[in-house]
Structure 1
């Protein structure tokens, strides 16, 4: 099993996880996805959330926030949390984790903690 597959599987063990993807935000393509929800097309989510990441990067540039990095971006829906976490390792620049959670079952703080740990062990 590749390191990426292991990372996706580990992310899916987070309580309330609906789906997870590793996404290249230069192309908007999902490098890998895992999830079993019929309501959530992870490839569409990957492409759409690429726009979110790019917009935030542009905004930070316009604000001259050169010493800052995005830790994560949270989108809160009535029934779901969507967590976007750009990877920071040199070998994984330009890639982000996308994690969709069932808001009623998930512990957001724990999910953020676990996804940070998964990122530390991921090599792409």
Structure 2
């Protein structure tokens, strides 16, 4: 079943334990195509732009190394949060990633990765 951006992000926030913010980001432009959650301590538009640089750097590095692999996700571990970046692999999702910020004390990282993959599978961009 295909779901739209807003529905996918809301599903991430409600179905993933510890989620504090989610966004769908176009890393060719750095623009957030949709956001949910966040707040004064987590500006998702700033996070979208900043994480675009992370994704671009990793893609460039893989090209320089000649690695013929797809990036599934990138994890950034902070003292109190996990930041998970999942690159979209579907034909409609090229150049985009799902960004999820999690409260580290409440999140199950393995389950969050699994759920984000499931949400990506149903996302229609």
> Structure 2 vs 1, CA of residues 44 and 64 (structure 1 numbering), >3 Å: closer, same or farther?
same
Q: Residues of 2 paired with 1:19 and 1:75: CA distance? A: 14
User: Residue 51 of structure 1 aligns with which residue?
Assistant: 53
**Cα distance in structure 2, aligned partners of 1:123 and 1:92:** 8
**DSSP 3-state at the match of 2:47:** helix
5+ residue gaps, structure 2, are none
Aligned Cα RMSD in Å? 0.9
Aligned twin of 2:122: 121
TM-score under structure 2 length normalisation = 0.95
Q: Gapped runs of 5+ residues in structure 1?
A: none
Q: Secondary structure at 2:106's aligned position in 1?
A: coil
Instruction: Verify the 8 A CA contact 2:22 2:38 in the aligned structure 1.
Output: no
Q: Between Structure 1 and Structure 2, how many residues are aligned?
A: 122
Matches of 1:22 and 1:47 in 2, distance apart? 11
What is the TM-score with the length of structure 1 in the denominator?
0.96
> Structure 1 CA distance, aligned partners of 2:30 and 2:112?
23
**Structure 2 match to 1:85:** 86
Q: 1:50 to 1:65 in 2, by over 3 A?
A: same
Q: Distance in 2 between matches of 1:45 and 1:52?
A: 11
| 2-structure distance, mates of 1:116, 1:10 | 12
Residues 54-111 of structure 1 deviation map (CA, whole Å, 9 limit, x = unaligned): 0000000000012x00010000000000000000000110000000000000000000
